[in-house]
Structure 1
Amino acid sequence: MAVRALLSGEVLGLWDECRDASREERALALAAAVDDSADSLPPADRPVGRVTALLLRLHQALAGARMAATVSCPGCRGTVEFAASAEALLGLEDKIVDCPAPLLHGGYEVVWRCPSYRDLQAVAEQPGADDPDLGAALLLERCVLSLRHEESAKASARGADLPGAVREALTDAMAAADPLADLLVDLRCPDCELEFTADLDVAAFAWAEVECRGRQLLLDVDALARSYGWSEREVLALSEPRRASYVRILTGELP
């Protein structure tokens, strides 16, 4: 999947646009900004992993492949460091199935699709969706297109009508069809040695780099505008190497 490079002015625009947005809105705005594919579907309607792949490539373009962070141990509340590779995760992109085959399990035929960010947004707006079990049920309900039991000639489109074993099989099929949709990291606390699992929030990593780049651009604009009288547009029109060279002159790093 191709992504396009963001101009300096676009980075600042995204920073302004997304700083107060929800997690889902922010992820979609960043993905749409760099999307250079020929897919007729907007990122909001593609499998979640397709958006994750765009965000991974955005992170690579801004800061490289390495993603490092810390989480709090659920046992002792100590700090646990971890790192992931955007390049390695992108190796899972080829395993995403955009049009999955119907699930045949327990006498049921279930026609389904992978969850999208539009689904995540819709579920988040439902009362009680912060409950993990209810949220998962609401998401599955949206992704079941039709279902039929072998002993019934009538088709249904209600995922809630599925027995538990079939629902579990469908959840497993969804995870296999989009391995970038829900990224988890297995960790061990160095202090208490507790083993636990943490979410790898690619959207948060990408946003952190946009925010960092946006702050640095504002500092550059401020410094160059004060010294040379240039407007923000004129400063942002400079190439990154040229702008960095002028900043280095001002700080005395470039003789």
Structure 2
Amino acid sequence: MRPLAAAELLDIWERGRHTPPWQQALFLLAAASPEHTTEALARLSIGRRDDLLLELREWTFGSQLVSVVECPACGDRLEFTIDGGEFRSEPDEAPESIDFHTEGYRGTFRLPNTEDLAAVSGIQEMEAARRALLAACVLELSPALEADAPENGLTVKAQELPPEVQEAIDRQMQEADPQADIQIDLACPACGHRWVAPLDVVSFFWQEIDDWVRRMLQEVHTLASHYGWSENEILAMSAWRRRVYLEMVQA
């Protein structure tokens, strides 16, 4: 994987700004990882995908993540800064399948990936989407009782499992891929309320890109209007050179 140039980032934004998050993630990783096919990137576990996006984001905007959230208790707005490196993990090949034994059932599952998210993205009802995702990722499933072993021909569909069994398998999937569900501990300085907020890596990174693009296009407009340079010429400059020229224009 490699860093993205300003012109590449602008092109990705233009192609992806009206697409769903799973597609935006693939646009970014495909551009930064030309050594891998889009299909291979789409089959990475969500945790591994998000870890790569955090690395790419650090190359693009630095390690500090700055965000503003609203306290769910008092409504006060809280700005916080965290180091994205805290959520990075050592690269590790996810196993093709993971055995499980829970609530009277046994079987194997694989970790959800971007292909799975794309497949369920059209399902509006969250619980139905969760069940469809589970069904796609559970590879083998049967009652754990010896008399009902799969070699005796008895198997079960994931969608037919009791809710508590489905939830138990969901938990095991999360434990096997913790990077897929990053949680941030927050505390409101106004009222003291504490809560845990999820970090959606794709949405966070894309919002930063959107903000950057709008600032960059304004800079391009200013410099092109003053000096007559083309967009490509301006984007090819380092951020430092653009800033110096902008300071001279605005002096």
1:191-218: CA deviations, max 9, x gaps?
3333322111222221132123322322
1:121-175: CA deviations, max 9, x gaps?
322312423xxx4433232122111213342322646212334554343222211
1:46-82: CA deviations, max 9, x gaps?
1111221122112211221111212222222222333
| Contact 1:58 1:206 (8 Å CA) reproduced | no
2:43 counterpart residue number: 45
Instruction: Give the TM-score normalised by structure 1.
Output: 0.83
2:131 counterpart residue number: 137
> Do residues 128 (structure 1) and 125 (structure 2) align?
yes
> Do residues 173 (structure 1) and 163 (structure 2) align?
no
| Contact 1:44 1:118 (8 Å CA) reproduced | yes
Q: Percent identity?
A: 33
Any stretches of 5+ residues in structure 2 without a counterpart?
none
Aligned-partner Cα distance in 1 for 2:71–2:241: 44
Instruction: Give the TM-score normalised by structure 2.
Output: 0.84
1:102 counterpart residue number: 99
Letter in 1 for 2:24: R
| Contact 2:106 2:142 (8 Å CA) reproduced | yes
Q: CA deviation at 1:185?
A: 1.8
Aligned-partner Cα distance in 2 for 1:194–1:86: 24
Relative to structure 1, the CA distance from residue 176 to residue 241 in structure 2 (aligned partners, 3 Å threshold; closer, same or farther) is same
Relative to structure 1, the CA distance from residue 249 to residue 99 in structure 2 (aligned partners, 3 Å threshold; closer, same or farther) is same
Relative to structure 1, the CA distance from residue 125 to residue 65 in structure 2 (aligned partners, 3 Å threshold; closer, same or farther) is same
Q: CA deviation at 1:230?
A: 1.8
Aligned-partner Cα distance in 2 for 1:23–1:203: 6
**Structure-to-structure mapping, 1:50-61, within 5 angstroms:** 50-61=48-59
Alignment partner of 1:115 out of 94, 112, 115: 112
Aligned-partner Cα distance in 1 for 2:183–2:203: 14
Q: Which moved more, 1:144-153 or 1:233-242?
A: 233-242
SS at match of 1:42: helix
| Contact 2:4 2:60 (8 Å CA) reproduced | no
Q: CA deviation at 1:89?
A: 0.6
> Do residues 17 (structure 1) and 11 (structure 2) align?
no
Aligned-partner Cα distance in 1 for 2:93–2:168: 18
Letter in 1 for 2:101: L
| Contact 1:55 1:203 (8 Å CA) reproduced | yes
Letter in 2 for 1:192: C
Letter in 1 for 2:216: L
Q: Indicate the RMSD between aligned Cα atoms, in angstroms.
A: 2.6
Q: CA deviation at 1:179?
A: 1.0
Q: CA deviation at 1:183?
A: 1.3
Relative to structure 1, the CA distance from residue 82 to residue 249 in structure 2 (aligned partners, 3 Å threshold; closer, same or farther) is closer
Aligned-partner Cα distance in 1 for 2:61–2:198: 20
Relative to structure 1, the CA distance from residue 94 to residue 9 in structure 2 (aligned partners, 3 Å threshold; closer, same or farther) is closer
SS at match of 2:180: coil
1:148 counterpart residue number: 142
